Homo-oligomer: A and B are copies of this chain.
Amino acid sequence: MFREKQGINLLTGHPVNRIDRNAKVVNGATLEGQPFEAAYDKLLIATGATPILPALPGIEHPGVMVLKTLADGRRIKEYLSSRSIKNAVIIGMGYIALEMCEALRTLGIEVTMAKPNPRFLPWLEEKLAEVVKDEITTNGARLHLGQGITEIVNNGDGLQVVCEDLTVETDMVLVATGVSPSSEIAATAGIDLGPNNAIAVDRQLRTSDPNVFAAGDCADAYHVVTDQKTWIPLALRANRAGWAVADNVCGRKVELPGVAGTAVFKVFDLQVARTGLSREEAIAAGFDPAEVVIKSRSRAHAHPGATPIHVSMVGDIKTGRLLGVQMVGKEGVAHRINAPAVALHAVMTVEQFSQTDLSYAPPFGPTWDPCLTAANQLLKKL
Give me the interface of A with B, judged by CB distance under 8 Å. Answer: 224, 234-237, 239-240, 256-266, 271, 273, 275, 332, 334-343, 345-346, 348, 352-353, 355-361, 363-365, 367-369, 371-372
Neighbouring B residues of A371 by C-beta, 8 Å: 338
Determine the residue in chain B with the shortest Cβ distance to A332: B335
User: Do A368 and B239 contact each other (CB < 8 Å), given the known contacts A341-B358, A343-B342, A352-B345?
Assistant: yes
Q: Which residues of B contact A356 (CB under 8 A)?
A: 260, 338, 341-342, 345
Docked-complex contact B367 and A338, CB < 8 angstroms: no
CA distance A357 to B257 in the complex (A): 10
Taking a contact as CB atoms under 8 Å apart, the answer to whether B235 and A359 are in contact is no
CA distance A1 to B315 in the complex (A): 47
Which residues on B sit within 8 Å (CB–CB) of A358?
Answer: 236, 262, 338, 341-342
Max chain B Cβ within 10 angstroms of own Cβ: one of A266, A273, A345, A368: A345
Q: Count copies of this chain in the complex.
A: 2
Q: Which residues on B sit within 8 Å (CB–CB) of A236?
A: 357-358, 360, 367-369, 372
Residues of chain B with a CB closer than 8 A to A361's CB: 263-266, 334
| A258 partner residues in chain B, CB cutoff 8 A | 357
User: Closest CB-CB distance, A134 to chain B, in whole Å?
Assistant: 20
In the bound complex, residues from chain B placing their C-beta under 8 Å from that of A275 are 357, 359
- Known: A239-B367, A334-B364; 10 extra A-B contacts, CB below 8 A, are A237-B357, A260-B356, A261-B357, A273-B359, A332-B335, A334-B363, A335-B336, A335-B365, A342-B356, A345-B357
In-complex Cβ contact of A256 among B345, B348, B353, B355 (8 A): B355
- A369–B234 alpha-carbon span in the complex (Å): 14
Assess A359 versus B342: contact at CB under 8 Å? Given A239-B367, A364-B271, A367-B235. no
Q: How far is the CA of A266 from the CA of B365 in the complex (A)?
A: 12
Which residue in chain B gives the minimum CB-CB distance to A376?
Answer: B243
